[in-house]
């Protein structure tokens, strides 16, 4: 009997199966370091945070897991970052398996790309680009980590850090302080930020930039002309990324400038460096160069906003995505200005896309609200800490104000659900449980009178 599963159901199920498989592997005695044991909840939490490329941990990745356990985590991060369907499709492509129309549609839906034409070539370019960037990151990290940790451990830490940073997972095996021990290293902080930003830009923007630069060199165009000839999606992503990173860094710098527990005692160049790093890591990375529990309330609020927005579509980052947030903002702005169309870079945005963006933001906001209330109901958890933890989990960021390890079993299950929802998207889970409804669109109802505002 041949069972057909729709994309809406297949993608959430595939991630769930991968989480279960990872849990089983991490519960094996060989996965834990000598003297350590891993229970079901800890293994499930770690598997979920790896597959969902979140980075929240209940045990120290550096100390609790053996090299085998760390390898399992790294593989889960890589598959989770690229997507189960994308990895499976690449294996099919390498094995020269034929792709049916259903396979192509599934791949396109998983990558959030509507076109079928050139999809397999696009997939090949993704994997080639990803492994090139991660290999480059490994080499760059090894310059510092090999002298610090030795050849074997240094190379392993470099590979782990490169994959984790690019996939926006925020986990590392260098030590138990994330990037705090390297907050004065312009080199390591710079490499980490570059990998995080590259992963968060999205693959579509990658290839638009590469193709644009090649075409610009061929036609002798200036950098400004090259940018002006980019597709509207890539121009919007680059603009939003620049605004959010710069704005976030300035807000953190102002809020933490005199805070001795974060950047207050640093010289000005290091204050700027760490403020920029905090802004970058808020965008779903999860690495921390300053203690997150010592941040001011203002920085936490900035973090809520940046984490909720997240990175850009068709990449490794989480959140509602930059383009989605901008479309919702533009819709409100267009209404206030009395415009009937939403126009970006002289291109009209379809009503269907605007509705989808509004749905994504609304459902995500509701998920944050409900999960924060549930977490606070465990007792003794402040709103700032609970909201920080929930937004971080739902946006697959991985930053924590020290709350994660202290959560009870129910609290950890709540965060596990948040991470899973964040990876597949709350809107996808809503569609998962939706049955039928297609016939409703064939019925035209009489218009009612309602009052808003």
DSSP result, 142-174: HHHHHHHH-HHHHHHHHHHHHHHHHTT----SS
Q: What does DSSP say about strands 347-348 and 343-344: parallel, antiparallel, or unpaired?
A: antiparallel
281 vs 169: CA distance, rounded Å? 10
81 vs 280: CA distance, rounded Å? 18
Indicate the DSSP class of residue 32.
B
Q: Are 200 and 168 in contact (CB under 8 A)?
A: yes
- pLDDT, tens digit, 9 for 90 and up, residues 179-210: 999 999 999 999 999 999 998 888 888 888 98
CA 254, 260, 266, 270 torsion: positive or negative? negative
For the chain, report the end-to-end CA distance as a whole number of angstroms: 54
DSSP H helical ranges for 261-340: 268-281, 297-309, 322-336
Give average pLDDT by consecutive 10-residue segment, the chain, 453 residues. 58 88 95 91 94 90 93 93 76 70 67 67 86 95 95 95 91 87 94 92 87 87 85 90 95 96 95 96 89 94 94 82 90 86 84 87 92 91 93 91 90 94 72 53 71 70
DSSP letters, 51-97, are HTT----SS-HHHHB-HHHHHHHHHHHHHHHH-HHHHHHHHHHHTTP
Residue 390's pLDDT is 95
393 vs 228: CA distance, rounded Å? 36
Nearest CA to 31 among 70, 75, 79? Answer: 70
Nearest CA to 281 among 396, 130, 403? Answer: 396
DSSP letters, 281-298, are HTTTT---SS-GGGS-HH
Residue 65 phi, psi (nearest 5): -100, 145
186 class by beta-carbon count within 10 Å (0-12 exposed, 13-18 middle, 19+ buried): exposed
Q: Which residues contact 185 (CB under 8 A, 6 or more apart)?
A: 144
9 vs 110: CA distance, rounded Å? 11
Residue 332 phi, psi (nearest 5): -65, -40
Please state, as a whole number, how many other Cβ atoms lie within 10 Å of the Cβ of residue 120: 17
Please state the domain extents for the chain: 7-309
354 vs 360: CA distance, rounded Å? 10
pTM confidence score: 0.88
264 vs 258: CA distance, rounded Å? 4
Indicate the DSSP class of residue 406.
G
Q: Are 57 and 48 in contact (CB under 8 A)?
A: no
268 vs 256: CA distance, rounded Å? 12
331 vs 240: CA distance, rounded Å? 16
Residue 109's pLDDT is 64
Residue 1's pLDDT is 40
Residue 264 CA: distances (Å) to CA of 133, 183, 254, 255, 271: 34, 13, 10, 10, 8
């Amino acid at each position: 009997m041949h069972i057909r599963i729709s994309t809406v159901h297949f993608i959430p199920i595939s991630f769930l199966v991968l989480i279960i498989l990872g849990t089983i592997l991490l519960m094996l005695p060989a996965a834990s370091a000598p003297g350590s044991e891993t229970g079901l909840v800890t293994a499930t939490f770690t598997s979920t945070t790896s597959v969902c490329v979140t980075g929240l941990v209940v045990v120290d990745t550096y100390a609790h897991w053996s090299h085998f356990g760390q390898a399992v985590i790294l593989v889960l991060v890589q598959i989770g970052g690229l997507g189960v369907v994308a990895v499976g499709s690449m294996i099919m492509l390498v094995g020269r398996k034929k792709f049916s129309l259903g396979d192509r549609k599934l791949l396109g839906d998983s990558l959030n790309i509507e076109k079928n034409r050139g999809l397999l070539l696009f997939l090949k370019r993704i994997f080639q680009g990803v492994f090139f960037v991660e290999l480059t990151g490994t080499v760059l990290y090894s310059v510092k980590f090999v002298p610090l940790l030795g050849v074997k451990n240094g190379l392993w830490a470099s590979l782990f850090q490169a994959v984790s940073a690019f996939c926006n997972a925020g986990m590392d095996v260098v030590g138990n302080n994330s990037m705090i021990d390297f907050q004065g290293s312009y080199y390591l902080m710079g490499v980490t930020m570059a990998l995080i930003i590259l992963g968060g830009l999205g693959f579509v923007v990658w290839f638009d930039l590469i193709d644009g630069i090649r075409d610009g060199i061929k036609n002798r165009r200036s950098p400004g002309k090259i940018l002006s000839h980019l597709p509207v999606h890539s121009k919007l992503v680059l603009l939003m990324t620049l605004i959010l990173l710069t704005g976030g860094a300035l807000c953190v710098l102002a809020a933490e400038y005199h805070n001795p527990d974060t950047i207050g005692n640093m010289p000005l160049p290091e204050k700027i460096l760490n403020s920029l790093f905090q802004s970058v890591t808020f965008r779903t990375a999860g690495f921390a160069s300053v203690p997150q529990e010592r941040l001011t309330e203002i920085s936490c609020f900035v973090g809520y906003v940046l984490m909720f927005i997240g990175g850009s579509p068709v990449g490794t980052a989480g959140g509602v995505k930059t383009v989605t947030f901008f479309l919702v903002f533009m819709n409100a702005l267009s209404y206030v200005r009395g415009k009937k169309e939403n126009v970006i870079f002289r291109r009209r945005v379809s009503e269907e896309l605007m509705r989808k963006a509004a749905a994504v933001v609304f459902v995500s906001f509701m998920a944050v609200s409900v999960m924060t209330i549930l977490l606070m109901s465990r007792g003794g958890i402040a709103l700032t800490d609970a909201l920080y933890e929930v937004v971080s989990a739902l946006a697959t960021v991985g930053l924590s104000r020290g709350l994660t390890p202290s959560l009870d079993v129910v609290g950890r299950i709540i965060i596990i659900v948040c991470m899973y929802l964040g990876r597949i998207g709350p809107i996808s889970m809503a569609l998962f449980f939706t049955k039928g409804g297609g016939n409703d669109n064939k019925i035209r109802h009489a218009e009612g009178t309602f009052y808003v505002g």
